[in-house]
Amino acid sequence: MASGHLIVVERLADFRWADADARVVTAEDFISEHTGESADLSGRPAADAGKRPRKVINLCRNYDYLSLGYYCSLLAEARGDRVTPTVETILDLQHRSSQQASLARLDRLIAGLDEVPRSVNTLSFHVFFGHIEDPELADLARKAFELFRCPLLQIELERPDGLNGWKTAAVRALDPREVDASRDALFMGALEEFTRRRWTPALSQYVPKMDLAILHDPTDPLPPSSLATLQHIVEVGQSMDIAVELIRKKDFSRLTQFDALFIRETTAVAHHTFKFAKKAEAEGMPVIDDPGSILRCTNKAFLAELLREHDVATPRTRLVSRRSLPRFEDSLDYPVVLKVPDGSFSRDVRKAQDFKQFQEIADAMFKESEIVLVQDYMYTPYDWRVGVLGGEALFVARYHMVRDHWQIIKHAGDGPSTEGRTEAVALQDTPRAVLDTAVKAARLIGDGFYGVDLKQTDAGVFVIEINDNPNLDVGAEDKVLGDEVYRRLLGHLLAKFEQRGAAVPHEQPLPTGLPASSKLGNVIRLGSD
């Protein structure tokens, strides 16, 4: 499969690792390309060029201000390409003052240099796409690439006079010609890892409609989707001409090489999932879950206020602090349910039978959160779960309580958790009040993918929670619709991707680093040498 990446170099000979015909172009050709030609430099017809941002790797010899390397990244950004390095990165590399905070973060990752003789006060080493041979410096190399996003880096370390240990003195971009031939295997392995495609010079190869990354954690005991389900999504994607790849936390530096992101991890604001979502949104990539949805859904206190303000029925809910706790001694009808606002998967959810137990549970929860959410206990043999996508109901399931337990998940200390039975229900067999309430609640969050938990009693339908990364597994929530569930999810992301790619802004601000008085046509002069 073609990687869809375009490598830009100053001279074709600078990229000595493969035939420089289809995927490697000179900076002059890249800068001078015309959209009116029959095909662009990636091999796509010009008519289709606006629908899919190219992924450009800028390997020019230097990125000095107003150099060819600088202009390649500048124009790539103006054309809507995803380029590495960006102009922002280039400017950071040029100004030492911009590097200081990042260099200090790198200092904490320096390891494995205890045996360096005291007579050696400076060291430098090369990093290719975040990779280096020495495993003890692997974390430092990977973090340097995350911070500076430059394909080829030289990191310089120094040992301050009279002090133990090392500190990062500087980070600079490498000329591709500085890559020693003895390290060709490392370079090619790093490039292949970065693009996740075997590097071949074939001129015309299949290019998918979209490259989708699915972020997952294979060590999570209660993931939103099992590995088998994620692998099934990969297969469904192939049938839709969508390339789907499973990525992990360590792949953050590769995120911009994809067109869209689907997060299938338990999300939290103070967590790498939020960092991934923020980065994807900043790059204009469609993302589920988007940062706004994570912010709104992961805090139950926010949800309680949001639903109350929009007249969506919930169990009676109160917010309790240490100071206000004594006031609740005579005002609660027991049992009540206490929740840490940012808990998930029934974690940090406890039931109190009286005020004494209420105090004990609340005191423990105050160690995690200044606010504890208290709700009236409402028993039903199952919870309704309505999956909502783009403001419309996608699937419905009944989540039955664990036998002899009051929740759908029973956590057993440090042991395995027990889950109640999942029963898929057809949309047409779902009470209209359940569907309408779920859709109304989800639309308050956004137009992404949500799981709305509801209880239905003689008093009506009540929203318990809105999840930004709802469970979805083969043979469970998809039991009624089957693969149609996954096709709609992938189609939703694809439609957003194509819509953003086709949109042409009427007016754009000048890219970062370009003098306001400059006109590109007056600055760039090519072909005279």
Q: Are the beta carbons of 395 and 424 closer than 8 angstroms?
A: yes
- Classify residue 45 by its DSSP letter: B
What number of residues does the chain have? 529
Residue 467 φ then ψ, to 5°: -105, 135
For the purposes of burial, counting CB atoms within 10 Å of the CB of 101, is it exposed (0-12), middle (13-18) or buried (19 or more)? exposed
- Classify residue 136 by its DSSP letter: G
| Strands lying side by side in the sheet with 5-9 | 24-26, 5-9, 55-58, 82-84
| Cis peptide preceding 85, ω within 30 of 0 | yes
Alpha-carbon dihedral 295, 296, 297, 299, rounded to 10 degrees? 80
Residue in 163, 161, 141 with CA at minimum distance from that of residue 152: 141
376 vs 316, 344, 349, 454, 462, CA distance in Å? 6, 19, 13, 14, 12
Q: Are the beta carbons of 493 and 212 closer than 8 angstroms?
A: yes
CA distance 105 to 90: 19
CA distance 297 to 469: 9
Hey, what are 45's tokens?
């017809």
The pTM of this model reads: 0.65
- Note down pLDDT in tens along the chain; length 529 residues: 345 688 998 888 889 886 433 478 888 888 877 444 434 444 444 434 445 678 889 999 988 877 888 888 888 887 778 888 888 888 888 776 666 777 877 877 787 777 777 778 788 889 899 898 888 888 888 888 888 888 998 888 888 765 667 888 888 899 999 988 888 888 988 888 887 754 444 333 456 888 899 999 999 888 999 999 999 999 999 999 998 999 999 888 888 888 899 999 999 888 899 999 999 998 889 999 999 999 888 878 788 888 988 999 998 888 888 888 888 877 788 888 888 877 554 457 888 888 888 888 888 888 888 888 888 888 888 999 999 999 999 999 999 876 666 565 655 555 566 677 789 999 999 999 999 999 999 999 999 999 999 999 999 999 999 999 999 999 999 999 999 999 999 999 999 998 875 554 434 444 444 433 333 333 333 333 3
CA distance 274 to 268: 6
CA distance 423 to 517: 64
352 vs 35, 197, 333, CA distance in Å? 67, 54, 10
Hey, what are 164's tokens?
């133990």
CA distance 306 to 447: 16
